[in-house]
Structure 1
Amino acid sequence: MQSRTENLNALLRRGLFDIPSYQRSYSWEESQLQDLLNDLRYLPDSTQHFFGNIVVDQKDKQFRTDRGRRLDLFDVVDGQQRLTTAIVLLDVAKQVDEVVREVVEEENLLHPVGERPRLLPQDQDKEYFRDSLLGRSKLDPETPSQRRLEEARDFYLRELEDLGSGLSVKQLAETLRYKLTVNVVELEGESEAAAIFESLNDRGKDLSTLDKTKSFLMYMDDRSSEHGALRSKINGRFGKIFRELFVFSSGHDRVEDFDEGSFQQYHWGLYDGYDSDEYFKELATLKKRLRGLYRDGEHEPIQTRIDDYTRSLREASSAFSALFKPSEQAERVAEELSRLLTLGRVANVLPVLMASHLEWGSDDPEGMASIVDACETLVFRVYAVDRRRSDTGRGRLVSLAHDIHTGTCSAPSDAVARVHEITESYAPGERFERDLRDPGFYDSTASRDIRYLLFHYSQNLDTELKESASDLSTILSPEFQVEHVLAKNLSEEKIPSSLRGQFEEHVHRLGNLTIASRYWNSSYGDLPFEEKKTSGSQREKSYSSSTIRAQRVLADVPEFTLETIDRREDDIVDFVLDEWCLG
């Protein structure tokens, strides 16, 4: 191992750089991009800035430039985020400033060997980086890392085109090349490189568990076989995994609740089952098992495990992605899936849905839809209405996912029965109804969940208004609220005689609740019921002219009394018990 300190320009001119297969993909975001730009912008003239460690492993390959110069090839073991960003920034500076372009091209800083750029990312991003980011092709990003590369380029384009006075693009590019110093560490051998990489982090951005997993599996493959027998498979499968996980940028809004680590944890559940000590430490568990086999000299089983795990992880990424693209599913599945995703709190049922999609998603859409429906019933009853803790039922649901994945649960109807069984154990019918009839229902249930319930109830009301399913997301937005039909702050003389003396006991019941826009509620929500019904005086809106079904039907109610609240609550509860029933 050798080390030296030099500026970034000297490092770049020393050779060509590849990001090896066990490396993570590009992960810098705007905060890291801004930090680098600020370092360059505010660096005093006589000062050098330390840019960190760059760990490289020289390969047995050389390139020859068109001028006959030989360039060594290096794998970048650590520092690839910094090096990649520097290349992107230099390319942007070349686009913005003609003088920089002439210098960069004259010195062959970015393309020293034909179309081969100075640096190439790992396989899944290589074509995009070479042909689109640094080239002339117009390729759409297909992975999260490609999207981040595009965002890095666009960020620097905006910043450099509006750099302001006091610093030119030429000065900034020269600062980047000559005043950023790096400590270059050269290693010997790929095994040493992979081992050291496992213990390193790059500036300002931790490795994801998925990145660490890929690195570790490449490392174990190298140690347990000749010439990395599974290297191509591992690299190819992880490339496809990262492409599927582009769903984090392109999928349903609910996908923002999760990340790569969440996905990998859910996969571990369906792959290995549920053990509370292992479920949240899937990588540590995988490492422990493979290292145990290595210590025992069991190299062939290591290869089998790596092959099996990466194949399963690749399949699971496809299922995870599909669940957050409901519009691409069969119509019946899309309808149920959209409803569940809109409700939210899907973390505990995701392993079940992933396993079900893998087993039955393509061949039995009706069966898949029934499982999604059962999961929505569980989420609504257990988490929304009964307000159970977020980890309630997690172990049982993950165990069900594992049984589906391994074939122990062999039919969608069996999976539905298991989900209903779990729901019944935490939110049985009597308890569910008691929650709905709670006099403090408004205070004990989230506004969003009440609006979700009332939206579906209103869909079955006898009115000429026909809201579409897409209206649900609007009703659940901050622009809408839960309204008390009899206002909470109703003056004593306006309270119906049947409720006087006991108004506080009934005002927050489900039977006294409906949906209103934020504007409507703030303008008219405190008015007596009789004044809400019709467009009296100069009010612009009323129940009779409302575009919301749950409000419109109230215009036909003669008076709102205790009996009305009782009757309306019975109607809503009967609907809910039928809509979210178990079987």
Structure 2
Amino acid sequence: MADPAQFGHDRLAHLLSDRLLSVPRFQRGYSWEPPNVAEFLDDLKTARSESQPYFMGTVVLADDAADPSRQIIVDGQQRLTTTAILVAAVRDRLRQLNKLEPASVIDKNFLQTFDLEEEDNVTRLKLNAEDVRVYEEILAAQAPVDDKHPIVACYKMCIDHLAEVAPSEAHYRDLVNVVTHLDKSVQVLLAVASGLPEAYVIFETLNDRGADLTTADLLKNYLFSQSRTYLDHVEQQWSAVSRAFDKPEDLVKFIRHEHSSREGKVTTRKLYKVLQSSIGRGQKRVRDYVGRLEDSLQPFTAIREPDSEFWGRTDVDVRDSLLAFRRFGFESSMPLLLAVLNSWEITPAAKMVNKIAGWSVRAWFAGRLGGGTAEEVFSDAAVAVSSGRSKTQDHVFESLIKLIPTDQEFRQAVISSGSVSTGRAKYLLAQMERQHLAQLGVSVEAQPDWSGKSVSVEHVLAKSSGVTEFSSSADYERFQAGKDSLKNYTLLERTLNRKLADKPFEEKARMYQQSKFLLTRELGQNATWTLADSDARATELAKLAIAAWPYR
């Protein structure tokens, strides 16, 4: 039977002097930002000035079976790392003031110690792979190669802070007091577990309300606490998943969409409790869940990366659809996309991706993607796919029918649509252009890549047009309301678009006729352009939209 966990009090810097600690390889790297560091330094300064002890929360450690000389930090990594950086900055400030002996004592007691077996200095706090190099460069008083690393930012802030604490050699005792305060008065509640599974149970219990923790942190600790004999396997899979995301909130989005793709809509606020219930207890259930999460990572990543190798397994072109998801932020459809890509063969799945993009465009024009209704509908459709009930495009269409406007509704929505960002307008106009070419039996091969920087969106009636250029103030108000709408946009190569922004339509028309975009060339055949012409163009664009993003 494993030894029971030990609980007690300790002091923050004393943990560095009394133990050899390490950050586990699966733990996220140092992530405190300048505001966090500034608050930490200010709080310590206040506590020192008042000669008061200062409580810094809980630290959870676990014995490391692979390295009995060290203990693993389960909770407290950010605070301990910041403390070590502050202590290193004190040492370096003492060296700047030519106080070499106290600097040496601080280095030996808190930062590095001599290991008789290795016959070399070893760091008392060993960080993980993404942080270890820059941290050890600071310990060795070397200029860090990566000067944008969060640890470097923290170190610079500490040095600046200490220059104020001890502006000259006469104040060097104030530097020593910083370390003494950390060693004697900055208190923590310490829990030391006999192994990682027990440590994560403690961690989750102490943080049951989730304060200052992301859902990803809570979920990770729950999974590790339940994984038992599969711990190494679960660690590796979790690390593979979490490394794919730069921000914790993006990882949480993925976890939420993956869950919604199988079991229906869940909000971020309720996600952790729902996952606990869904996964249940037991190492096999945890192993299966993490495996499923890892399996979903590739299709999820591919949805966001049109050039992913994932799409090389099919001849269906999904690039424009994936760019639409990105430009319009169609997050609510993500569970359904995941369900389709996880459940169907790649070619019918890719075709379904294009259909979902088209239906999403229709729903966006009709204003049906706001609020929680759309996500609920898409998630319910996803569950039907994941469970095997929906096996065809027709089945999915029936699941989404309340979101998809009919041709008549869509036509009116396009005609009356308001302002559209130029990024979205590029996609919309490009798809209408392709539909126009297809209806005329013309190849799209010569068309420029609409998504590239070589193509811009041009205002037909100049955005800067003044009231004097219209027959009445009412017309000017109409122009103001629709100047950034689709009917006043056209695609144009940047080489043709230079210095056109404020030109009258007559000058623009000559340049439009040189474009490779047919809709733009046709626009250039007009001698003049009025608000009535814009309204007529809106009707023509609506006809193309109905064909470009068909109802069924």
Q: Does 1:560 align with 2:526?
A: no
Partner of residue 488, structure 2: 513
Alignment of 1:422-433 (within 5 A): 422=400, 425-433=403-411
Partner of residue 576, structure 1: 545
Q: Does 1:243 align with 2:232?
A: no
Residues in 2 aligned to 1:104 and 1:164: alpha-carbon distance in whole angstroms? 15
Partner of residue 141, structure 2: none
Partner of residue 232, structure 1: 232
Deviations 1:418-449 (A, max 9, x none): 158625753121110121233xx336x66764
Residues in 1 aligned to 2:229 and 2:130: alpha-carbon distance in whole angstroms? 27
Residues in 2 aligned to 1:486 and 1:168: alpha-carbon distance in whole angstroms? 57
Residues in 2 aligned to 1:417 and 1:474: alpha-carbon distance in whole angstroms? 38
3-state DSSP class of the match of 2:489? strand
What amino acid maps onto 1:307 in structure 2? R
Question: Which residue of 392, 395, 398 corresponds with 2:376?
Answer: 395
Partner of residue 83, structure 2: 86
Q: Is the Cα–Cα contact under 8 Å of residues 261 and 379 in structure 2 kept in the other structure?
A: yes
Partner of residue 182, structure 1: 186
1:18 Cα offset (Å): 3.9
Residues in 2 aligned to 1:20 and 1:464: alpha-carbon distance in whole angstroms? 52
Q: List gaps (5 residues or longer) in structure 2.
A: 1-5, 139-145
**Number of residue-to-residue matches in the alignment:** 508
Deviations 1:483-534 (A, max 9, x none): 5479975548758xxxx998978984978512599xx99x987876446546
3-state DSSP class of the match of 2:221? helix
1:12 Cα offset (Å): 1.4
3-state DSSP class of the match of 1:581? coil
Question: Which residue of 263, 276, 299 corresponds with 1:319?
Answer: 299
Question: Which residue of 254, 257, 261 corresponds with 2:252?
Answer: 261
Residues in 1 aligned to 2:445 and 2:330: alpha-carbon distance in whole angstroms? 34
What amino acid maps onto 1:215 in structure 2? N
Q: Does 1:347 align with 2:360?
A: no
What amino acid maps onto 1:373 in structure 2? N
1:212 Cα offset (Å): 0.5
Residues in 2 aligned to 1:290 and 1:568: alpha-carbon distance in whole angstroms? 54
3-state DSSP class of the match of 2:57? strand
Partner of residue 274, structure 1: 264
Partner of residue 52, structure 1: 56
Deviations 1:358-404 (A, max 9, x none): 345xx73x434323212221221102454542434323322333344
Residues in 2 aligned to 1:209 and 1:263: alpha-carbon distance in whole angstroms? 11
1:56 Cα offset (Å): 4.2
1:543–1:108 Cα change, 3 Å: same
3-state DSSP class of the match of 1:229? helix
Residues in 1 aligned to 2:125 and 2:487: alpha-carbon distance in whole angstroms? 66
1:353–1:418 Cα change, 3 Å: same
Alignment of 1:277-426 (within 5 A): 281-288=270-277, 302-329=282-309, 330=311, 335-359=319-343, 364=346, 366-410=347-391, 414-415=392-393, 418-419=396-397, 422=400, 425-426=403-404
Q: Is the Cα–Cα contact under 8 Å of residues 332 and 378 in structure 2 kept in the other structure?
A: yes
What amino acid maps onto 2:229 in structure 1? A
1:164 Cα offset (Å): 8.9
Partner of residue 152, structure 1: 150
What amino acid maps onto 1:351 in structure 2? P
Q: Is the Cα–Cα contact under 8 Å of residues 328 and 424 in structure 2 kept in the other structure?
A: no
Partner of residue 198, structure 1: 204
Residues in 2 aligned to 1:107 and 1:501: alpha-carbon distance in whole angstroms? 79
Residues in 2 aligned to 1:112 and 1:47: alpha-carbon distance in whole angstroms? 33
What amino acid maps onto 2:37 in structure 1? L
1:155–1:415 Cα change, 3 Å: farther
Partner of residue 442, structure 1: 418
1:155 Cα offset (Å): 0.8
1:151 Cα offset (Å): 2.7
3-state DSSP class of the match of 1:231? helix
1:326–1:482 Cα change, 3 Å: same
What amino acid maps onto 1:245 in structure 2? F
1:425–1:73 Cα change, 3 Å: closer
Q: List gaps (5 residues or longer) in structure 1.
A: 64-70, 137-147, 222-227, 250-257, 294-301, 535-541
Q: What TM-score, normalized to structure 2?
A: 0.72
Residues in 2 aligned to 1:220 and 1:335: alpha-carbon distance in whole angstroms? 40
1:488–1:189 Cα change, 3 Å: same
1:550–1:387 Cα change, 3 Å: farther
What amino acid maps onto 1:259 in structure 2? D
Residues in 2 aligned to 1:390 and 1:482: alpha-carbon distance in whole angstroms? 31
3-state DSSP class of the match of 1:427? coil
Residues in 2 aligned to 1:374 and 1:193: alpha-carbon distance in whole angstroms? 47
Residues in 1 aligned to 2:517 and 2:389: alpha-carbon distance in whole angstroms? 47
Residues in 1 aligned to 2:490 and 2:201: alpha-carbon distance in whole angstroms? 59
3-state DSSP class of the match of 1:471? coil
1:214 Cα offset (Å): 1.8
What amino acid maps onto 1:573 in structure 2? A
1:83 Cα offset (Å): 0.5
Deviations 1:452-499 (A, max 9, x none): 423544566899995423337974xxxx6755479975548758xxxx
Residues in 1 aligned to 2:338 and 2:469: alpha-carbon distance in whole angstroms? 55
What amino acid maps onto 2:20 in structure 1? L
Please provide the CA RMSD for this pair: 5.0
1:11 Cα offset (Å): 2.5
What amino acid maps onto 2:8 in structure 1? S
1:266 Cα offset (Å): 0.8
3-state DSSP class of the match of 2:418? helix
What amino acid maps onto 2:418 in structure 1? Y
Residues in 1 aligned to 2:60 and 2:399: alpha-carbon distance in whole angstroms? 56
Residues in 2 aligned to 1:290 and 1:310: alpha-carbon distance in whole angstroms? 10
What amino acid maps onto 2:370 in structure 1? R
Residues in 2 aligned to 1:231 and 1:132: alpha-carbon distance in whole angstroms? 29
Question: Which residue of 21, 32, 38 corresponds with 1:28?
Answer: 32
Partner of residue 429, structure 2: 454
Residues in 2 aligned to 1:319 and 1:164: alpha-carbon distance in whole angstroms? 49
Residues in 1 aligned to 2:265 and 2:326: alpha-carbon distance in whole angstroms? 30
Q: Is the Cα–Cα contact under 8 Å of residues 56 and 187 in structure 1 kept in the other structure?
A: yes
Deviations 1:279-307 (A, max 9, x none): 8633213334677x7xxxxxxxx333222
Residues in 2 aligned to 1:281 and 1:349: alpha-carbon distance in whole angstroms? 19
1:149–1:525 Cα change, 3 Å: closer
Q: Does 1:216 align with 2:222?
A: yes
What amino acid maps onto 2:217 in structure 1? D
Q: What TM-score, normalized to structure 1?
A: 0.69
Q: Is the Cα–Cα contact under 8 Å of residues 261 and 383 in structure 2 kept in the other structure?
A: yes
1:345–1:169 Cα change, 3 Å: farther
